[in-house]
Structure 1
């Protein structure tokens, strides 16, 4: 009899798992599978009622052929109706905004449910549809529990009262802002007094030209493709800055002095530039001058291309830049295989005496017309005009991807080999395009061995792009 009881206990061990452990196990499953776990046994019947992470994805319901109309909406209603009332850690809705069975009152009721249960992380996103979510309930914008808010494909018509007292992370992706005053109010300390991270992707504004970000606690800022909006950043002590937009931001020295990691890319059509070109380029170059404590810097080809004609003529930049960035250790740049681009990178490398790693990606010269227009300026600076003295004393690793063997690239490689005194590795990944491969291999086999290598320890590794 004792053996039978032991056997029975082992067979039914899953039924006797404590409720908190059951809920924890189910929390790792997709919501639809979590719901199915309720049929395991009588003890598991209400396991989903105590979940603290509610992640609803409509695509999970479209994978089965037997899906019935409105199943997804009914599923959410059933899940929320059986919830035990405990606080919700994360509430995520990923669905079609144009679903004919989804009504705004239902969406608002779900959001209100999450807010009522003190949700800390809320996400709303739409996919494969042209319609946007509209008229979100006011309770979402006055939540006293939210620490993270992520909105995708939303037409953000903000209420007059916006208050997130504990919000630390805000992500806005493909959001259309309505009302300049309300947008600037959202991105201010009065609405988000403790916000630390702000991400704005592919957002646009109706009848709005400028967005002002004024949050003293902001540490991490990402701005990507803001549809030619002018961005003004004030009263922020940033640590990480990613800025990939058409125009340089309107930013002051105090906001970037604390930045330790930065990434920049601009996408400008010179012919459509409303401010004076020199003024535009000077704004970009000043940002580099002000980044005095940056340790990791990424400059994409759009950033390198636009100041290519300006940095060479900006004597103020040349005078101040070399002494301003002693903290930089890691530099990544994207460049075109042109002499002017190589010269700008040479200038930058001279400006960072403590640089340890340099990563370069050589892109295809796909906008020759734009580059020829920009090249119609005074002659680029000569090496004799560059700051003198010891340089590249800390550089240990150089990675070059997409090497095409142009004169500018060869000059850059020679400069690095002749000045990096403790260089250990130079990894060159040449382009795998057939028309360029032969030329690259000739340059590598005939030219590189002739370059002076000031470092006795340096090893040069050469490979095809296919193996990078």
Structure 2
């Protein structure tokens, strides 16, 4: 009875549950949220210090907009806080230990002690991030790793998750990570042969993420014994032309790629379920349309697909884009788009080739224009209102549309007018207002007023409900 009352909010959990069980519950919370429980009462004041999910991120203390001198001072306070917290930790083991410091060179001995603490506690998930937020748009080759992974980590054979950013790793030393399931590497040099050796030593690997790695040559994945289910390759530096080869990965379900357009050679027998494609690093679209068209054919089985503005502008220029041989199996499509005219032919391409589409998410982002863009046909300003085609998904399957970052521009309004007026089975239209102001004085209130104008439009579906957030 007391437990039911506590769950209903009528009684403090501390009066019902034993302390050891509260420790387990707190360990499921993110570290920052666990710390916030200390304000609940005197009983809860130090309870969070028994969490087995430990995360120390300098952003708790250091803000990027502060002066260099202030950052140096606060980074020292942060390191001192970690020292004190670890010194008072009394539990015998931990599950996860995460540390993020952007200027580790002044605290090498301290950081090595923090890592030694985690290893001594039998940590299963280790995350070390020494990258700097100011690097985000930089060429990764300009930033050598700032910290060397201590030798005793290579001897810690119980690791199940390892995430290293700007942390130099000695691949030949990795021979004991037989339990590793999740591996993320970023801001490091990673040659093709090193990656192959790494995968051979991790037979249970299920998730692999590579971010801003360089000197990779090409990406070659062909390990029939791999259990890999998730693969993410984000803005890595390859030799030109880029070649992505994925074979013998029958369990692969999730594929994320961002960077320059590559020659993709994918295993069509894979049971792909989700793909996220972003070619934002491209500065020219010439000669890439057929490569992207063939990529979509290889991904014909995915049910969740996310595509970028570059894809929308380019795909209709493919020689075969009119009349896809294999209609896509996509049920949830995300368009990262500015909804400008150069993207319209690509949007209709996906409407036409996703006959089973049930959910459409439009994530509005800044426009990208390419100087050598050649539209597949002459653009007309009444594109969405004249000679309208009602695609099969609009007639039969599309039930939910989400728009994120709505400002109510003319093109946004026209596209939504089209969907509302022709979406015969639509049930939900969720509009999330942008919080950004624009150069023309646009603000949240103005965007909301524009969104409310959509409520007055004629609806093709009597079940359609429009919500504005």
Taking the aligned partners of 1:347 and 1:138, their CA distance within structure 2 comes to: 53
| Match of residue 141, structure 1, among 148, 154, 159 | 154
Which residue does the alignment assign to 2:409? 404
> Is the counterpart of residue 185 in structure 1 residue 184 in structure 2?
no
Which residue does the alignment assign to 2:374? 375
| Match of residue 244, structure 1, among 258, 271, 276 | 258
Please give the per-residue CA displacement for 1:261-288, whole angstroms capped at 9, x wherever unaligned.
Answer: 22211125455x8xxx43x332222232
Please give the per-residue CA displacement for 1:327-347, whole angstroms capped at 9, x wherever unaligned.
Answer: x22222133444442222122
Taking the aligned partners of 2:463 and 2:22, their CA distance within structure 1 comes to: 57
Which residue does the alignment assign to 1:3? none
Which residue does the alignment assign to 1:335? 337
SS at match of 1:144: coil
Task: Write out aligned runs for 1:197-276 (5 A).
Answer: 197-201=207-211, 203-205=212-214, 207-214=215-222, 216-228=226-238, 230=242, 231-236=244-249, 237-248=251-262, 250-254=264-268, 257-269=270-282, 271=284
Structure 1 gap segments, 5+ residues each? 1-13
Taking the aligned partners of 1:56 and 1:388, their CA distance within structure 2 comes to: 50
- In 2 relative to 1, CA 376–320 (structure 1 residues): closer, same or farther, beyond 3 Å? closer
- In 2 relative to 1, CA 100–137 (structure 1 residues): closer, same or farther, beyond 3 Å? closer
Which residue does the alignment assign to 2:293? 285
Q: 1:184·1:211 contact (CA, 8 Å) conserved in 2?
A: no
Q: For the aligned residues, what is the CA RMSD?
A: 5.1
Please give the per-residue CA displacement for 1:347-378, whole angstroms capped at 9, x wherever unaligned.
Answer: 211222221222334544453xx1x5211667
Taking the aligned partners of 1:228 and 1:388, their CA distance within structure 2 comes to: 39
Please give the per-residue CA displacement for 1:301-341, whole angstroms capped at 9, x wherever unaligned.
Answer: 1322232422xx325x723143x42xx22222133444442
Q: 2:260·2:280 contact (CA, 8 Å) conserved in 1?
A: yes
Counting matched residue pairs gives 407
Task: Write out aligned runs for 1:64-213 (5 A).
Answer: 71=80, 75=84, 78=87, 86-95=92-101, 97-103=103-109, 107-108=111-112, 111-112=115-116, 114-115=118-119, 117-126=121-130, 132-173=145-186, 175-186=187-198, 188=199, 190-201=200-211, 203-205=212-214, 207-213=215-221
Measure how far apart 1:124 and its partner are.
1.4
Please give the per-residue CA displacement for 1:78-123, whole angstroms capped at 9, x wherever unaligned.
Answer: 568xx68x444223333454353533xx655654554455321112
Q: 1:177·1:183 contact (CA, 8 Å) conserved in 2?
A: no
Which residue does the alignment assign to 1:360? 362
Measure how far apart 1:214 and its partner are.
4.2
Structure 2 gap segments, 5+ residues each? 1-13, 63-70, 134-142
Q: 2:314·2:346 contact (CA, 8 Å) conserved in 1?
A: no
Taking the aligned partners of 1:196 and 1:270, their CA distance within structure 2 comes to: 33
Q: 2:206·2:229 contact (CA, 8 Å) conserved in 1?
A: yes
Task: Write out aligned runs for 1:40-55 (5 A).
Answer: 52-55=52-55
Measure how far apart 1:170 and its partner are.
1.3
Measure how far apart 1:145 and its partner are.
0.6
| Match of residue 395, structure 1, among 385, 394, 398 | 398
Taking the aligned partners of 1:77 and 1:153, their CA distance within structure 2 comes to: 24
Q: 1:337·1:404 contact (CA, 8 Å) conserved in 2?
A: no
Please give the per-residue CA displacement for 1:16-39, whole angstroms capped at 9, x wherever unaligned.
Answer: x98856966996888xx99x9xxx
TM normalised by structure 2 equals 0.67
Q: 1:405·1:443 contact (CA, 8 Å) conserved in 2?
A: no
> Is the counterpart of residue 303 in structure 1 residue 305 in structure 2?
no
Taking the aligned partners of 1:68 and 1:344, their CA distance within structure 2 comes to: 51
Q: 2:355·2:392 contact (CA, 8 Å) conserved in 1?
A: no
Measure how far apart 1:169 and its partner are.
1.0
Taking the aligned partners of 2:393 and 2:97, their CA distance within structure 1 comes to: 56
Taking the aligned partners of 1:21 and 1:178, their CA distance within structure 2 comes to: 43
Please give the per-residue CA displacement for 1:213-249, whole angstroms capped at 9, x wherever unaligned.
Answer: 4453111222222235644333322222222222246
In our comparison, the structure showing a higher alpha carbon Rg is: 1
- In 2 relative to 1, CA 108–443 (structure 1 residues): closer, same or farther, beyond 3 Å? closer
